[in-house]
Amino acid sequence: MPWDPVRLNDGHSIPDRFGTWKLGNGQSSVDQVDQALSVGFSHIDTAQFYANEEQAGIAIRESGLARSDIFVTTKYSGVGGLDIETSVQNSLKKLGLSYIDLYLIHQPYLALPDIPTTWKKMEALKDQGLVKSIGVSNFEVYHLEILLASAKIKPAANQILLHPYVNARQAPLLEYCAAHNIVVEAYSVLIPVTSQPGGPVDAPVNSIADRLGASADQVLLAWAKAKGAVVVTMSTKKYRLEGYLAAGDLLLTPDDIARIDEAGAKGLKQNHAFAFMRRLALVALAGGAALGVCGYLGIDLF
Ligand SMILES: NC(=O)C1=CN([C@@H]2O[C@H](COP(=O)(O)OP(=O)(O)OC[C@H]3O[C@@H](n4cnc5c(N)ncnc54)[C@H](O)[C@@H]3O)[C@@H](O)[C@H]2O)C=CC1
Ligand SMILES: O=CCc1c[nH]c2ccccc12
């Protein structure tokens, strides 16, 4: 049973998720997107920067799915210093589509010369029918405050980093987005099993996974869903993609979520301590090296 589509503030809906960044591992990008669509994903998340819009377009056409059954997100990433108007036309051409479902500003620093001017350009794309919905990515509360102060059209979504180790830091942003009816899309939700395994989140996630007969990645996806986010994830492996879709059925209890949140917050403190110790070690090393050089050169420091 796939995850339920989420309603955006402009009346459109955003369906099941899949990302396309860093496709590889021997399988062509076309095959990977093809595989995701055949497994049941209907949302392709790409970006100007990912340089795989053409492959995503081929896979969409090869899938034989109706355009209305696929939701395509792409992003203005500032590639080549091109402006938004030229970038969106290039993305449409590469994707082979007449419209994009959701167009995002990839990072706030790309909103040049400023956020209000850039957002006006985004609104014009929607008015022209080139994109159905417009949104942002990696925007923090103060970026959204600037944007909303002059916006005629609210951003439909904000795609942000969200996993248990950044949950506490991102909580005010999640609250702000909820209060303004902006859907949060979460990326890198699986960090505790990909690049930061072995941290305090592992114990609750694994014990919840055992109880539910699920995998750790499924529990993390269900955790992000419970936070109200639409998850953007990916895998080159078919069994993982199927597992991601099945995670839509996992029901975490409030206690499960609290345990993961608490463990995630501990991880942040440990990371600070680790970063401090690493900085201390680097200073000691640099000091030692400087003393050594001075000694070698015969410079008397004391
Ligand atoms: N807007 C933005 O700035 C960003 C957007 N994104 C989007 O989000 C998508 C997903 O981003 P990711 O960081 O890759 O997300 P992710 O945290 O969902 O990780 C996906 C990776 O986890 C691996 N994985 C899954 N289960 C695993 C397990 N049990 N053990 C080890 N590895 C496992 C998968 O094979 C895959 O490579 C991207 O493809 C892109 O579309 C990603 C980063 C930034
Ligand atoms: O999406 C993943 C990488 C990424 C995050 N922000 C930017 C901005 C411009 C290009 C790539 C990215």
Q: What CATH number is associated with residue 256?
A: 3.20.20.100
Q: Is 124 within 8 Å of 117 (Cβ atoms)?
A: no
Q: Please tell me whether residue 76 adopts helix, strand or coil conformation.
A: strand
Is there a domain that residue 104 lies in? Answer: yes
The DSSP symbol for 102 reads: E
Among 143, 232, 236, 237, residue to substitute to test ligand 1 (most atoms within 8 Å of Cβ): 232
Is there a domain that residue 113 lies in? Answer: yes
SS3 of the chain: helix, strand, coil, percent, to 5: 55, 15, 35
Among the bound ligands, name the one nearest to the CA of residue 233: 1
Predicted confidence at residue 91, as pLDDT, reads: 98
Residue 4 banded pLDDT, cuts 50, 70, 90: confident
* pLDDT above 70 for 298: no
Is there a domain that residue 294 lies in? Answer: no
Condensed to tens digits (0 to 9), the pLDDT of residues 143-176 reads 999 999 999 999 999 999 999 999 999 999 999 9
Is there a domain that residue 219 lies in? Answer: yes
The DSSP symbol for 180 reads: T
Condensed to tens digits (0 to 9), the pLDDT of residues 210-245 reads 999 999 999 999 999 999 999 999 999 999 999 999
Expressed in angstroms and rounded, the spacing between residue 295 Cα and the centre of ligand 2 is 46
Is there a domain that residue 225 lies in? Answer: yes
Expressed in angstroms and rounded, the spacing between residue 102 Cα and the centre of ligand 1 is 19
Is there a domain that residue 88 lies in? Answer: yes
Among the bound ligands, name the one nearest to the CA of residue 109: 2
Query: How many independent structural domains does the chain possess?
Result: 1
Is there a domain that residue 201 lies in? Answer: yes
What range defines the domain where residue 211 resides? 6-274
Query: Is the distance from the beta carbon of residue 137 to the nearest atom of ligand 1 less than 6 Å?
Result: yes
Would you name the residues annotated as active-site residues? 50
Predicted confidence at residue 1, as pLDDT, reads: 43
Residue 2 in tokens: 């796939």
Expressed in angstroms and rounded, the spacing between residue 123 Cα and the centre of ligand 2 is 22
Condensed to tens digits (0 to 9), the pLDDT of residues 262-292 reads 999 998 555 556 666 767 776 776 666 666 6
| Interacting residues of 151 by C-beta distance below 8 A, sequence separation 6+ | 116, 119, 123
Is there a domain that residue 295 lies in? Answer: no
> Which backbone phi and psi does 298 adopt, to 5 degrees?
75, 20
